[in-house]
Amino acid sequence: MTTAVEADTRTLIAVRGLKKHFPIKEGALQRVTGHVQAVDEVSFDIEKGQTLGLVGESGCGKTTLGRLVAGLSEPTAGGVYFDLGPQEKIELDRLMASDAERAEFDDEHRVDLLKGDAWRRFRRNTQMVFQDSFASLNPRQLVKDIVGRPLRVHREASGTALVERVVELLEQVGLGRQHLYRYPHQFSGGQRQRISIARALALDPGLVVLDEPSSALDVSVQAQILNLLHDLQADRGLTYLFITHDLSVVRHMADQIVVMYLGRVSERAPTDDLFAAPRHPYTEALLRASPDLDADGDEDGFQGLEGSVPDPARPPQGCRFHTRCVYATRVCGWEIDDVVLRLEETPGLFDRLEDVERRSPFDAELRFESEQAARTLVSTFQNEAPEPMRDALEDMTVEGRTVAIRFNPVPEVELTSRGTDHEAACVLEDFGSN
């Protein structure tokens, strides 16, 4: 792991207000009925020579964000900025307030706007190792052609010189000349991942986006790949964006960690600080869910991560984690969907719900089949809803078959400082064991 002192002060990647929303299309006419907020208002920096670990559960937007950083997909809003000096980074943050004033700066540095030589420089410099090594390697191509392709496309080498460059790359990842004339299916998972890494290194990049590079592998092979990546970083001064769902994997690799939940950053911190004192309940839950990270080894205290991840097309209001947070308070974003979700868990009552008329995510009328069902909802809510959810209620009235419900509206919980380089998006400064 490189330290902040050793690292160059250039910022290789600055992500600002980045969004990627995918349209959901339905019906024969493919009408757009909503958007999956895969990445939503994400900002962070990756300094040259460092490793940034990006963690979060399946579906939280890690691959989408990795692809945006690697310039393989276009953002819906915001941007990824490439290779900024210290003054340029200050300038970027000064210009963030005004799109018009930033236009010239964007043309020079924003990845999706780069053209000509600037685009080619970025393209060579930034490579990605994909999540599924089997799918990302063409099954009909020999290793010689797979690893040699970037060199051929960029006219770096041809003929015998190309083959020798490929052999060199294979040797750097622990393979050799004997593997040149084999197809991907003739390799183990770990070896295939080595081929993917060799291909990513072919153009001598500065930044490699590693998308779950070791997740599909046995623990011992996983350790070999992590060691290889570590050695390559030391030899070549590489910068990594390391994507994983497993905090324990990046603990010894990453300088900084960004934790994502449903498209948003929930916590960002230097690795040591994050492990010593997580400042977001979601990070704490992720740490508890990694058995080998349960610091006190207390089996009874092991909680794991409970509840399912909400629909990213309709992320929860306030704090997106409030539906699963054990520390949730009355100001964490309780809303009509939380009532409907609880109703779905009570089939006898849910079946008698006829309609939900929403005035806002916090304010709606629920119409039931009968007056009795409407009154049952009210009593069930009063007796069984979590206390902070009941406290957040501003009004609940029954009139015939209709229950009008209004919660206190709460804005999205933003990241706020928790010390040097440490931010968390939680309304609680302290919680649980902190």
Ligand X SMILES: Nc1ncnc2c1ncn2[C@@H]1O[C@H](COP(=O)(O)OP(=O)(O)OP(=O)(O)O)[C@@H](O)[C@H]1O
Nearer to ligand SF4, 235 or 430 (CB): 430
| 63 is a contact residue toward Mg ion (CB under 5 A) | yes
Q: Which of 52, 56, 39 is nearest to 13 (CA)?
A: 52
**Residues binding Mg ion: what is the number (CB under 5 A)?**
3
Q: Tokens standing for 426?
A: 């939680």
Interface region with ligand X, contact rule CB under 6 A, candidates 51-59, 114-122, 233-241, 324-332: 51-59
End-to-end CA distance of the chain: 27
C-alpha 169/C-alpha 197 separation (Å) is 9
| 242 is a contact residue toward ligand SF4 (CB under 6 A) | no
| 319 is a contact residue toward ligand SF4 (CB under 6 A) | yes
Name the minimum Å distance from CB 61 to ligand X. 4
Contacting ligand SF4 within 265-294 (CB under 6 A): 280-281
Q: Tokens standing for 327?
A: 């520390």
Name the minimum Å distance from CB 32 to ligand X. 12
| 253 is a contact residue toward ligand SF4 (CB under 6 A) | no
| 22 is a contact residue toward ligand X (CB under 6 A) | yes
Nearer to ligand SF4, 328 or 374 (CB): 328
| 328 is a contact residue toward ligand SF4 (CB under 6 A) | yes
User: If you ran DSSP here, which 8-state letter would residue 125 be given?
Assistant: H
Name the minimum Å distance from CB 83 to ligand X. 25
Nearer to Mg ion, 62 or 179 (CB): 62
Q: Which of 129, 235, 134, 148 is nearest to 189 (CA)?
A: 134
Query: Residue written as tokens 């003739």?
Result: 186
Interface region with Mg ion, contact rule CB under 5 A, candidates 131-139, 167-175, 194-202, 329-337: 131-139
Phi, psi of 315 (to 5 degrees): -60, 145
C-alpha 298/C-alpha 118 separation (Å) is 53
C-alpha 18/C-alpha 63 separation (Å) is 14
Contacting ligand X within 107-166 (CB under 6 A): 131
Interface region with ligand SF4, contact rule CB under 6 A, candidates 54-62, 288-296, 368-376, 422-430: 422-430
State which residue has the least CB distance to Mg ion. Answer: 63
C-alpha 283/C-alpha 16 separation (Å) is 22
Q: How many Cβ atoms from other residues are within 10 Å of residue 228's Cβ?
A: 19
Length of the chain as a residue count = 434
* 51-55 vs 239-244, strand pairing mode: parallel
| 34 is a contact residue toward ligand X (CB under 6 A) | no
Q: Tokens standing for 35?
A: 């958007």
| 62 is a contact residue toward ligand X (CB under 6 A) | yes
Query: Which of ligand SF4, Mg ion, ligand X, none does 214 bind, CB closer than 5 to 8 A by kind?
Result: none
User: If you ran DSSP here, which 8-state letter would residue 175 be given?
Assistant: -
Cβ–Cβ < 8 Å for 327, 433: no
Candidates 245, 390, 406, 422: give the one binding ligand X (CB under 6 A): 245
| 261 is a contact residue toward ligand SF4 (CB under 6 A) | no
Interface residues with ligand X (CB under 6 A)? 22, 36, 38, 56, 58-64, 131, 245, 312
